[in-house]
Structure 1
């Protein structure tokens, strides 16, 4: 590695500046420009912009033919108000980097600085800064973008920090590592009436009560085995905040979660059938829509071997805690390349992901970049 203490100090400062200025999924214009400027300064041979939205890819060419190895980080923050008192807390009301994507970007920036000083001997190293991870749309958009045909990686590697795991330790395993999930919106449409004559309308109240009672039971819960499923109510609204109106509209938001994509189809149909049956019983119309759709995440065995070879050089790792219930917009990359993600411990007592007081541990910049640099050296030398 060619990173110096001064590099790490500058990278920490860069990460904290990203933390101050978060942007939400699909809105990462300024963040992307910051990344582009860093890659230019770090001597990228080619920079592809506008990938699947605001995505950016920096390419470092070797001098001889070889494989294309892609590393991926995420650009977007979250629509959550940060509550911590850290000096570099978010300056944007209601938005914050509370998942660590600012740290993940900085790890790839550290790799870029190393590649600037020590180019691959063969093949290509590609650093992808993916948009819209948090809503599950970014990976699909990147893969569908014609500009991505210039990349066509043989291997794709990524990481995510993991609070609850000892600082700097790694969780890694072959096979399934993240659940599939999707957001489901159920609209129940009836007819409003005056609150003094509710019998003249068609209220969704009864249907809402039934669904709130019956839907959670459709998730089996339990161990993260192939039949695992979970249905979580995340939002409910009945009518308008007024005293003179008997409601004619209700909305229910759910998160469906399963270990596999195949099980997701089964659970989705069960919930849809229940919603439509209840709506019909109550003389309502049901409209169903989906968003934040995440495929399950599967680590390819060959890709895991390369990560473990890098980790074996002094970083403790095991399969402890895997697979995870949480979802991750990375699984689609495995369809066209051998891909794997590892999980980098953020500390046993560290604030959880998406918590309002979360902040990425700067100590992980060095650890994460060392793993990626070793992978590139092993595969492109």
Structure 2
């Protein structure tokens, strides 16, 4: 079948919710306004149970079906990004320096649309847990909700997520079994040398020179330590040192990220970063301290649940419009924590020819709404048949 008639009928209303959320973007866990809107809508729809404050500011709504059965979780993220919007839309962000540049406004609105439909029809046996998560953009809100007892409290058996995908036509879905998105780690390297006058480098130990050698050597992790058929990205995004042009500083600090698709490669990358920093610093007479923080694990789809997601998407869009071997991407996603806690799958939904994610000109395409709502409904009904 194509998109649900009811989802198409609700498109303008759901787009209105989306645009309202878009105008008032909030960051990380500070999503009180968005969470309140979500809770109010769920109450209006007649959702059976509404829990707020889970994972600090997350919201969970429970819709009971017309018979007994297990519980599946459907997750949307609510937070925005610290970016100044440049879309020029009439519903553009009203908050300086903040915007929904990743489409979480669309994700939240589509799940709200599915909540409305499921509460109206209840054409399933069991329960649907509607999960509205804060702090996906770097705050690890998915982990915080899991640690706060999300899965156990609602007895969730399977969990599913969805994210818009610029460049993929509206009405198209894409997914893959196994690793779909990379782990995302952060590190800080503090290099200590011996400062002094720029005219007398022989009396100094220059941490900037040490840092430069380390930056180059870190790229050998990908080129010489990891199998060429495997994937790793090591990036230095920040370098801070010195206060004047004619002073060799005492300390230099570098910060960066590591992204991998396998736990073994993640371990190897961390080990080699420490070895490279220690060795190069020591060879130059200085020292280096590495503070390595493991952030989001690999987003890895479970095989059976991926098949369920594919079947639901094909019901909506047809076989040709569902890509089942989407190449992995090296971006991170904290839905990974939910996939570590329960079997499930993460799917991409087409956002058309829009600006890329995290770009100031990005905007979620409201034409995708009926497809996303229909996917959630079909997935719930097919996983919880009466």
TM-score, scaled relative to structure 2: 0.90
- Which residue of the partner structure matches residue 326 of structure 2? 321
C-alpha contact (below 8 Å) 2:310/2:324 kept by paired residues = no
- Which residue of the partner structure matches residue 381 of structure 2? 377
- Which residue of the partner structure matches residue 332 of structure 1? 337
- Which residue of the partner structure matches residue 38 of structure 2? 35
- Aligned equivalents of 1:5 and 1:162: distance in 2? 21
- Aligned equivalents of 2:70 and 2:150: distance in 1? 19
- Which residue of the partner structure matches residue 84 of structure 2? 81
- Aligned equivalents of 1:50 and 1:192: distance in 2? 50
The counterpart of 1:67, out of the listed 66, 70, 79, is 70
SS at match of 1:122: coil
- Which residue of the partner structure matches residue 262 of structure 1? 264
Q: Which moved more, 1:148-157 or 1:191-200?
A: 191-200
- Aligned equivalents of 1:69 and 1:125: distance in 2? 5
- Which residue of the partner structure matches residue 299 of structure 2? 297
C-alpha contact (below 8 Å) 1:3/1:110 kept by paired residues = no
The counterpart of 2:366, out of the listed 362, 369, 374, is 362
C-alpha contact (below 8 Å) 1:220/1:229 kept by paired residues = no
Q: Does 1:55 align with 2:95?
A: no
- Aligned equivalents of 1:133 and 1:121: distance in 2? 30
- Aligned equivalents of 2:100 and 2:260: distance in 1? 26
SS at match of 2:69: strand
1:44: how far off?
1.6
C-alpha contact (below 8 Å) 1:61/1:120 kept by paired residues = no
SS at match of 2:68: strand
1:212: how far off?
2.1
The counterpart of 1:310, out of the listed 309, 312, 319, is 312
C-alpha contact (below 8 Å) 2:29/2:139 kept by paired residues = no
C-alpha contact (below 8 Å) 2:175/2:326 kept by paired residues = no
- Aligned equivalents of 1:205 and 1:292: distance in 2? 26
- Aligned equivalents of 1:4 and 1:208: distance in 2? 55
Distance change >3 Å, CA 36–CA 200, structure 1 → 2: farther
Q: Does 1:103 align with 2:103?
A: no
C-alpha contact (below 8 Å) 1:276/1:286 kept by paired residues = yes
C-alpha contact (below 8 Å) 2:236/2:255 kept by paired residues = yes
Q: Residue deviations 1:134-179, cap 9 Å, x none?
A: 2161221111113552123111111111112222211122222112
- Which residue of the partner structure matches residue 279 of structure 1? 281
C-alpha contact (below 8 Å) 2:7/2:113 kept by paired residues = no
1:357: how far off?
0.6
Q: Residue deviations 1:228-257, cap 9 Å, x none?
A: 2121221212223x3464312212122211
Unaligned runs of 5+ in 2: none
Q: Which moved more, 1:178-187 or 1:279-288?
A: 279-288
1:121: how far off?
3.9
- Which residue of the partner structure matches residue 350 of structure 1? 354
